[in-house]
Amino acid sequence: MGMLDRWFGGMKHYPPLAADSQAKHYLDEISPALEGLVGDVKDPLEVVPSDHEAFVFIGKPPKRFGLAWIHDGKVSSFQSLVEERHLSAAKSEQLLDELRGAYQHALDAPRYSATVGNRKITITPSMKLEQEVHEIISHTK
């Protein structure tokens, strides 16, 4: 089945996220915004939750992906960051490369599954990945 999943674009199977975990608590805090994102985006989602915010890898990182983050009750996209900070195409590509590197540094982090709305998503409760992505985004000019 795993090989068929890869051929047909299926999601990897991870153990369910524990209901009493810190990551579940973080997801509950951002639930309305996350449910909106899940409803709007059809690609696979991998959520990196943290206190009052989350980063969401969209697609199939580390190769082809987008990024959104949930903060202050709203969802921001990679494109909105590019526009807000007036990043050139070269700087945008560099930012994606840095995010790709951060994701690759956390490939060995445990991953879990959760259902949001009626859709299964991947949860990666990695403080290391969260901090690295946060740093990349906050230092982008």
Looking at residue 11, its pLDDT comes to 57
Write the CB contacts of 120 (distance below 8 Å, at least 6 apart in sequence): 11, 113, 114
Region 61-69 average pLDDT: 94
> Does residue 43 have a pLDDT over 50?
yes
Domain segments of the chain as ranges: 16-138
Global confidence as pTM: 0.89
Tens of pLDDT along 81-124? 899 999 999 999 999 999 999 999 999 999 999 999 889 999 99
Rounded CA gap, 53 and 47, in Å?
10
